[in-house]
Amino acid sequence: MNEEFPLLELQQHIHEMIARRAPLQQTMGAIADWMGMLFPNASFSLMSYDGKTNTLSSISGNLLSPKISPPLQNVPVEPGNTPCADAAYFRAFSGTENIGQDDFLETSLEGGFQACWSYPVLSPDDELLGVVSVHYRNPNRPTQQDKRKLKQAAALIALTLVRDRDTQDHKKLYEWHSALFNNHADSVYELDMEGRFQRGNAALEALSGYSESELIGIHFRGLIDADSLAQHRQLLMRPETAKPSLSRPKGQTHGVSVYLWKSPTSRSSSTTPLSVYGAYAGILPNGSVR
Q: How far apart are CA 94 and CA 49, in angstroms?
A: 16
Distances (CA, A) of 143 to 88, 97, 140, 283: 20, 11, 9, 59
Residues of the chain with pLDDT under 70: 1-4, 60-71, 100, 102-111, 224-229, 231-290
pLDDT, residue 198, reads 87
Q: Which of 49, 45, 84 is nearest to 63 (CA)?
A: 45
Tell me the one-letter amino acid at 204.
L
Q: What is the 3-state secondary structure (H, E, C) of 19-85?
A: HCCCCHHHHHHHHHHHHHHHCCCCEEEEEEEECCCCEEEECCCCCCCCCCCCCCCCEECCCCCCHHH
The structural domains of the chain, with segments of one domain joined by +, span 4-172, 184-285
| CATH number of this structure's domain 4-172 | 3.30.450.40
pLDDT given at position 288:
33
The closest of 69, 74, 68, 117 to 92, measured between CA atoms, is 117
Q: Are both 4-172 and 184-285 of the same fold?
A: yes
C-alpha–C-alpha distance, residues 120 and 98, integer Å: 20
The half-sphere exposure of 259 on its side-chain side, counting CA atoms within 13 A, is: 7
Alpha carbons 237 and 271: distance in angstroms, whole number: 12
Query: Contact, 220 vs 279, CB < 8 A?
Result: no
Output the pLDDT for position 268: 35
Contacts of 39 (CB under 8 A, 6+ apart): 134, 146, 149
Under CATH, which number does the domain 184-285 receive?
3.30.450.20
Pick from 108, 123, 129: nearest CA to 57: 129
| Neighbouring-strand partners of residue 117 | 95, 134
Using CA atoms, how far apart are residues 114 and 137, in angstroms rounded to an integer?
Answer: 5
Three-state secondary-structure class, residue 177 = helix
